Amino acid sequence: MRPIIVCTMLTALCATPALAGDAWTVLPMPSRGVEADVGETFRELLTTELSARNGATFVSSGAVCDDTPCARKAGQQAGAAVAVFGRMARLGDKLIVSLSAVDVTHGSMLSNQRMSVDRIEDLEAVATRMAEAIVEGRSVEDTAALGTITAAEVAPDRRREGHSGPSLRVGGMVPFGDSLHAGFGVLFDLGYWYEARDFAIEPRVAFRMSTDVDGEEYYRVGHLDVAAHYILTRTDFAPFIGLGGGLRFADEVRNRQVSIGKAVRLVGTEQVEKSAWGPGAYARLGVLLFRTYTLRVAFTVDYDVTFVELHDDKVPQSIQAGVGVMF
C-alpha cells in the first residue's frame, strides 16, 4: 500500500506546473530602439527580483526568443523548469516592456505582463513589479505601491488643447429705429478668446458711445457678454457665425423742446437723460484670418439689440462692424 501512495505523490508532483524552488532562466531580451546595455541591465534587475521572491535557482541561457516554442526549447536546453522571455521596444517617447513566463515541461503560459514607461529610470520599478506579478500570479496593475509607481502612471491624462488668450476689437456702429438719436458711434471690446477645433467661446467687456462728443445729444452703452461661435473651416481663412448675449447698461441724453407762456410763448430746449439696465443679445458673421498662427485677426459684423426702453422709444438696435485681434 505504501509504495502505491509514494508513486501517486511523485506522479502528481511531476504533473504540476513549475513552482518556486525549481530552476528558472531569464532569456536575453530583443530590444528595438533601445540600447543593448539597457536591455541587459533590465534582465539582471528582473533576475534579482525574481530570485528574491521565489528562491529559485537561476541558470543562464544565451538564446534570444520572442515566442513560446523558442523559449520552451531554450529552457529545456538550459535545464530550467520556467523560462522568462520578452521584448523591449521604444514607441515615440514611451518604452514598452513585455514579459512572459512559460512552463518548460508542459508548455503552458504561467504569466503574461506588459508595462510602458516614459523614463529609462523607471525600468527598475518595472522589474520589481513584473517580478511580483509573475511569482504571485497577479496583474501588474495590482502591484502598484509607494516607491514603484512610474512617472507614466501619475502623468495627467492627455487632452486636446485649444488656443486661448486675450482679444481686442475696435470698430463702429450705426443705430437704426427710433433709439440712440446721436447716430454713428464707436465700439471697444476687451475679451478672452478660447478657440477649439470647430468652435470658439468669448466672454467680453464692451463699450459703445456716440462720436459727436461735443454735441448736446449722446449715448453710452456698456456690455458684459459671452458668445459662442461655430467656425466653418480649419484653414487660415475661416468664416464663422456666432450668438451672444449678456447684461447691458444704456444711457442716452436727448434734447427736448419746451415752451413757456400762453399769450407770449417762449420756446427752448432742455436736456433729458434716461438710463436703464437690461439684457441684450447679438448675432455675428465673421471671418477669422491666420487661424493656424498664434496671433489671429477677425473681421466681424453684428446685429445687436439691447432690451431697454429709453425716452419711451423702441429698444435700441444697431449694426456693428469691427476688426479684432486674438493674442
DSSP string computed for 227-271: EEEEE--SSSEEEEEEEEEEEEEEEEEEEEEEEE-SSS-EEEEEE
The confidence score (pLDDT) of residue 17 equals 39
pLDDT at 207: 97
Closest C-alpha to 130, from 116, 118, 120:
116
Which pLDDT does position 107 carry in this prediction?
92
pLDDT digits (tens, 9 = 90+) for 195-224: 998 999 999 999 999 997 666 788 999 999
User: Cα dist. 317→105, 302, 308 in Å?
Assistant: 87, 11, 10
Please check whether residue 97 is in contact with residue 133, taking contact to mean a CB–CB distance below 8 angstroms: no
Which among 136, 130, 141, 133 has a CA at the least distance from the CA of 46? Answer: 130
The answer to whether the beta carbons of residues 229 and 205 sit under 8 Å apart is no
Give dist(CA 229, CA 244) in Å, integer: 9
Q: Does pTM surpass 0.75?
A: no
DSSP state of 14: H
- pLDDT at residue 145, rounded to an integer: 76
∠ CA 76-79-82, nearest 5°, is: 70
* Residue spans of the chain under pLDDT 70: 1-21, 146-147, 155-161, 213-215, 257-269
Residues 300, 250 contacting (CB under 8 angstroms): no
For residues 66, 70, 73 and 74, what is the CA-based torsion angle, rounded to 10 degrees? -40
Q: For Cα atoms 193, 199, 205, give the angle at the middle one, nearest 5 degrees.
A: 30
The reported pLDDT for the residue numbered 265 is: 65
Domains identified in the chain and CATH numbers:
16-154 (3.40.50.10070), 163-326 (2.40.160.20)
pLDDT at 180: 87
Q: What is the pLDDT of residue 194?
A: 95
